[in-house]
Chain A
């Protein structure tokens, strides 16, 4: 069964790279470029995993994460937070809000794929 992955990021080039990378790994990939769109798409598509950027217009990644975790329809959803802000407090905050993993930009493509696969196994 093909796992569905939702990429949420407002940086076009990063979206392009992630989309290419994950499609090549055989995932069904969807993209949202802001927090609100992400919530709508997650509710509709019921993805297995969300790659979530923190710094976004309209709704920050933290808010999105919180909202996703509050949705009873998505009990098994895995969330990986992606951020360019690598401060410890933010990592702690993300994990406290229910993220499964926290990856700092720039990331290693190999490690990211491995992490996704581990979480979906």
Chain B
């Protein structure tokens, strides 16, 4: 009853059921009631790791190598059990940055480089194609074997069957069609496929149950339990050998290699990344998956050894391919139903792998390879096209078809040279090349785009040379001599003994060389320069935790009017509008039109697009409509580049904040100074008021008294009127000096500067005071004057200073015995004038006070007991004048020893005497 059509019908029925499940899960997801949002589904969907390689190949491997099949599962077990934190971080980072694939992840990490994304895509496609070929081979072989029931016939060599009679071709076509239906029905901004995940989880159950069923049948149906099988195997030396030791000593080394390789494969294969990272609903699901997924691996391997041993015992050596024992053992015992179930289980393993792998690859091909190229080709006019969502889906459909086509081609070309497991390992070795850039990118901030490119390229080239090309050579598509004698016959370049390295199996050999070159180039080239600003920023997003994510440095902004149509072109109008509306609501706005055209909106749009076309392309598209502000991203980036690092930027910020703190302190100081000045101004006004009121008091009192008593006698009257007049004079002088002082202090005074003969000015000032000196009978001694001293100054102002000093001196010297001496002499650079009196002298504490406004040397000294005549402004004004001409005015005095007022002024260089003096004694 197991005719071909029955098998085909059962297969289609099974695929139909899967499709139904997917469709139902998608509908539930649209209603917001996700079927897959639970950790069990997540763990089961991770079972996509187990392909036909596991389903059929493990037994084949066990038949050849005993427990040599095991390391492929120990790797993922170790990864999940011990290194879950790597996955945890990858998921967090990927979610925060809306990563859609492994290529997107690498591109995004190293500064959103389109080139890098493209390279990862190429490596992934080339590397994974043998793996897809493996699935085609397994399904087509199992179909051929099953359809020959009840006879057990091994299928012919892949290349030997005419193309259109080759069941593998039809398998490839059916899988392509099914994958297209599954994965590219519509474009989802989140790039998540709930339906697909649900179907994969179901497939994981089907293949596990099918394998367990075969195992149970073989162990308890055909034999008397596990012990019975092992006991019988031990009796046949040829079979027992599998249980005791590895084939060669190198096999022990291979164990390490395989554990290592499968560990990375479980993390980095496009489909594993898709399921474990991109399709992850909640990072918490990982907590359960870290033990559930290893448990799944344990269960599916539970019966591998018994089945392999039973197959070896049952079939004469060499008649039946060990890879088919799972299917042929039930067939040999006429278990039709079980055989069909096993076939469906194998189909599950194959379709699960092919669907997820090709969807992941098609996303990468579309987002990281084709779209960046198409968008660059201006003549296509894509950048202006209104709706690109159709085009995106079209690209992905073609990518799926082409990838499966290539898989089939590899199957035809190289499929016969290797067992299932060996083909898979070629792919594992290819994706292991991602390990340095991905793991390094998660933990080392120093990696640069150039380093990643160099590492990937070096690793990929060596992988192709040591593993991929030999697989072609073994199939006869390249000359045999290539393997035996090396490229161009150079022995050192023998692809599987590169540079004379021998004693390793081909996988280990490839890994040693490719990862050595890969790591070396990645680290070496990265260290050539410090990461630029964009790399450093992405590095801190990936390495330094995910909390910063989303704060893309958009220096400018674009409005809804630009961004919505942009998003609509890639996502379709309806979906774009929905997403924008959600965004608007999340910001508390009622409609899309209210959204402000700010950097946050640009970020949102970039993230939205990143889901559909990858982060690097999304950045380029948003950049095309975002109008950068004057201090735009580029300038900021330039500044950052010059400062080399974002860290430098934060240092700069720190500095800025310190400067701000300093500025604040300065401002506070200035404010205090202002307050101090304000208080001084109040004091000044109060003092001026006092000085004005004092003479006014006398004037008013005497005037009133004279006014009220007209009969005041003449003598009194004359005296009073004299006082009134002198107080009036005092008042006028005071007002004039206050105004003068104000002018000097505000810098509004007018100056007429010319070369002035100091001797002449002093004599003139003395002349004007002759009468007053004579009146008090005070001697004025001008003998100390030197003629011919010239200074640059205002003549009238200098006269004012001299008159002030001379009249001050006159005020303080005693009548009759008073004596005032004036001196003027020159040094090379300055002229020095002194006015010395024999008055009471000035206490040291008052030497500066007397130059303050309205301070005439009170302050508790005995010196100025009598209130002097004057305004208290003469000396401050004189000092202002002298200092204006870059001179100094001060007093030298001690109580009881007279006072000497001195001032200096810079000497005029052209003055004859100056030259004489310079050459002379001084």
Q: Residues on A close to B: CB < 8 A?
A: 10-11, 13-14, 16-18, 20-21, 24, 34, 55, 57-58, 84-87, 104-110
Closest to A85 in B: B690
Interfacial chain A residues near B705, Cβ < 8 Å: 17, 20-21, 109
A10-B867, A17-B705, A20-B705 given; A55·B698 CB < 8 A: no
Interface pair B865/A106, CB less than 8 Å apart:
no
Give, as a whole number of angstroms, the nearest-CB distance from A81 to chain B. 14
Interface pair B698/A17, CB less than 8 Å apart:
yes
Give, as a whole number of angstroms, the nearest-CB distance from B19 to chain A. 96
A34-B865, A87-B686, A105-B697 given; A17·B858 CB < 8 A: no
When chains A and B are docked, how far (Å) is the Cα of A109 from the Cα of B697?
10
Closest to B867 in A: A10
Interface pair B697/A14, CB less than 8 Å apart:
yes
A–B Cβ pairs within 8 angstroms, 7 of them: A13-B695, A57-B864, A84-B690, A84-B697, A86-B689, A86-B693, A107-B701
Interfacial chain A residues near B867, Cβ < 8 Å: 10-11, 57
Interface pair A110/B686, CB less than 8 Å apart:
no
Cβ-based interface call for B699 (8 A): yes
A20-B705, A57-B858, A85-B686 given; A105·B864 CB < 8 A: no
A10-B867, A13-B727, A57-B865 given; A84·B704 CB < 8 A: no
Give, as a whole number of angstroms, the nearest-CB distance from B699 to chain A. 7
Q: Which of A13, A34, A104 has the most C-beta atoms of chain B within 10 angstroms of its own C-beta? A: A13
Cβ-neighbour of B693 out of A18, A84, A108, A110 (below 8 A)? A84
List residues of B (701-756) whose CB comes within 8 Å of A's CBs: 701-702, 704-705, 708-709, 716, 720, 723, 727
Cβ-neighbour of B694 out of A20, A87, A105, A110 (below 8 A)? A105
Cβ-based interface call for B237 (8 A): no
Closest to B858 in A: A57
Interfacial chain B residues near A21, Cβ < 8 Å: 701, 705
Interface pair B699/A106, CB less than 8 Å apart:
yes
Cβ-based interface call for B700 (8 A): yes
Interfacial chain A residues near B689, Cβ < 8 Å: 84-86
Interface pair A109/B704, CB less than 8 Å apart:
yes
Cβ-based interface call for B86 (8 A): no
Give, as a whole number of angstroms, the nearest-CB distance from A27 to chain B. 15
- Interface of chain B, helix or strand or loop or mixed? helix
Interface pair B700/A107, CB less than 8 Å apart:
yes
Closest to B701 in A: A17
Interfacial chain A residues near B691, Cβ < 8 Å: 84
Q: Residues on B close to A: CB < 8 A?
A: 686, 689-691, 693-702, 704-705, 708-709, 716, 720, 723, 727, 858, 860, 864-865, 867
- Interface of chain A, helix or strand or loop or mixed? loop
Interfacial chain B residues near A13, Cβ < 8 Å: 695, 698, 702, 723, 727
Q: Which of A18, A86, A105 has the most C-beta atoms of chain B within 10 angstroms of its own C-beta? A: A105
Q: Considering the complex of A and B, which 4 residue pairs feature the smallest CB-CB distances, nearest first?
A: A84-B693, A17-B701, A13-B698, A105-B697
Q: Which of B691, B704, B720 has the most C-beta atoms of chain A within 10 angstroms of its own C-beta? A: B704
Interface pair B693/A106, CB less than 8 Å apart:
yes
Q: Which of B693, B716, B860, B864 has the most C-beta atoms of chain A within 10 angstroms of its own C-beta? A: B693
When chains A and B are docked, how far (Å) is the Cα of A18 from the Cα of B702?
9
When chains A and B are docked, how far (Å) is the Cα of A18 from the Cα of B698?
9
Closest to A87 in B: B686
When chains A and B are docked, how far (Å) is the Cα of A107 from the Cα of B701?
7
Give, as a whole number of angstroms, the nearest-CB distance from A112 to chain B. 9
A18-B701, A21-B705 given; A84·B864 CB < 8 A: no
When chains A and B are docked, how far (Å) is the Cα of A11 from the Cα of B690?
12
When chains A and B are docked, how far (Å) is the Cα of A20 from the Cα of B702?
10
A58-B860, A84-B690 given; A17·B865 CB < 8 A: no
Cβ-neighbour of A11 out of B694, B700, B720, B860 (below 8 A)? B694
When chains A and B are docked, how far (Å) is the Cα of A10 from the Cα of B865?
10
Closest to B696 in A: A106
In the complex, besides A10-B867, A17-B697, A109-B705, 15 extra interface pairs with C-beta distance below 8 angstroms are: A11-B698, A14-B698, A17-B701, A17-B720, A21-B701, A24-B709, A57-B867, A85-B686, A105-B693, A106-B701, A107-B697, A107-B700, A107-B701, A109-B708, A110-B708
Cβ-neighbour of A110 out of B695, B704, B720 (below 8 A)? B704
Interface pair B690/A55, CB less than 8 Å apart:
yes
Cβ-neighbour of B701 out of A14, A58, A86, A104 (below 8 A)? A14
Closest to B695 in A: A13
Interfacial chain A residues near B865, Cβ < 8 Å: 34, 57
When chains A and B are docked, how far (Å) is the Cα of A10 from the Cα of B709?
26
Give, as a whole number of angstroms, the nearest-CB distance from B394 to chain A. 90
When chains A and B are docked, how far (Å) is the Cα of A58 from the Cα of B866?
11
Interfacial chain A residues near B690, Cβ < 8 Å: 55, 84-85
Give, as a whole number of angstroms, the nearest-CB distance from A102 to chain B. 14
Give, as a whole number of angstroms, the nearest-CB distance from A97 to chain B. 19
Interfacial chain A residues near B686, Cβ < 8 Å: 85, 87
Closest to A16 in B: B723
Closest to A59 in B: B860
Interfacial chain A residues near B864, Cβ < 8 Å: 57
Interfacial chain A residues near B716, Cβ < 8 Å: 20
Interfacial chain B residues near A105, Cβ < 8 Å: 693-694, 696-697
Give, as a whole number of angstroms, the nearest-CB distance from A53 to chain B. 10
Interfacial chain A residues near B858, Cβ < 8 Å: 57
Q: Which of B689, B694, B705 has the most C-beta atoms of chain A within 10 angstroms of its own C-beta? A: B694
Closest to B861 in A: A57
When chains A and B are docked, how far (Å) is the Cα of A104 from the Cα of B699?
15
When chains A and B are docked, how far (Å) is the Cα of A110 from the Cα of B703?
12
Interface pair A17/B694, CB less than 8 Å apart:
no
Give, as a whole number of angstroms, the nearest-CB distance from A75 to chain B. 31
When chains A and B are docked, how far (Å) is the Cα of A84 from the Cα of B698?
12
Give, as a whole number of angstroms, the nearest-CB distance from A57 to chain B. 5
Q: Which of A18, A21, A84 has the most C-beta atoms of chain B within 10 angstroms of its own C-beta? A: A84
Give, as a whole number of angstroms, the nearest-CB distance from A46 to chain B. 26
Interfacial chain B residues near A24, Cβ < 8 Å: 709
Q: Which of A16, A104, A106 has the most C-beta atoms of chain B within 10 angstroms of its own C-beta? A: A106
Interfacial chain A residues near B701, Cβ < 8 Å: 14, 17-18, 21, 106-107, 109
Interface pair B704/A14, CB less than 8 Å apart:
no
Interfacial chain A residues near B704, Cβ < 8 Å: 108-110
Interfacial chain A residues near B727, Cβ < 8 Å: 13
When chains A and B are docked, how far (Å) is the Cα of A84 from the Cα of B697?
8
When chains A and B are docked, how far (Å) is the Cα of A20 from the Cα of B712?
11
Closest to A55 in B: B690
When chains A and B are docked, how far (Å) is the Cα of A14 from the Cα of B699?
9
Give, as a whole number of angstroms, the nearest-CB distance from B860 to chain A. 7
Closest to B857 in A: A57
A57-B865, A84-B690, A87-B686 given; A106·B723 CB < 8 A: no
Interfacial chain A residues near B700, Cβ < 8 Å: 106-109
Give, as a whole number of angstroms, the nearest-CB distance from B259 to chain A. 92
Give, as a whole number of angstroms, the nearest-CB distance from B361 to chain A. 89
When chains A and B are docked, how far (Å) is the Cα of A10 from the Cα of B697?
13
When chains A and B are docked, how far (Å) is the Cα of A42 from the Cα of B239?
137
Closest to B719 in A: A16
When chains A and B are docked, how far (Å) is the Cα of A45 from the Cα of B196?
118
Give, as a whole number of angstroms, the nearest-CB distance from A12 to chain B. 8
When chains A and B are docked, how far (Å) is the Cα of A87 from the Cα of B473?
111
Closest to B859 in A: A57
Give, as a whole number of angstroms, the nearest-CB distance from A25 to chain B. 11
Interface pair B696/A17, CB less than 8 Å apart:
no
Interfacial chain B residues near A84, Cβ < 8 Å: 689-691, 693-694, 697
Interface pair A14/B694, CB less than 8 Å apart:
yes
Closest to A34 in B: B865
Closest to B707 in A: A109
When chains A and B are docked, how far (Å) is the Cα of A29 from the Cα of B916?
68
When chains A and B are docked, how far (Å) is the Cα of A24 from the Cα of B708?
12
When chains A and B are docked, how far (Å) is the Cα of A34 from the Cα of B860?
12
When chains A and B are docked, how far (Å) is the Cα of A105 from the Cα of B698?
9
Interfacial chain B residues near A17, Cβ < 8 Å: 697-698, 701-702, 705, 720, 723
Give, as a whole number of angstroms, the nearest-CB distance from A109 to chain B. 5
Interfacial chain B residues near A87, Cβ < 8 Å: 686
Interfacial chain B residues near A106, Cβ < 8 Å: 693, 696-697, 699-701
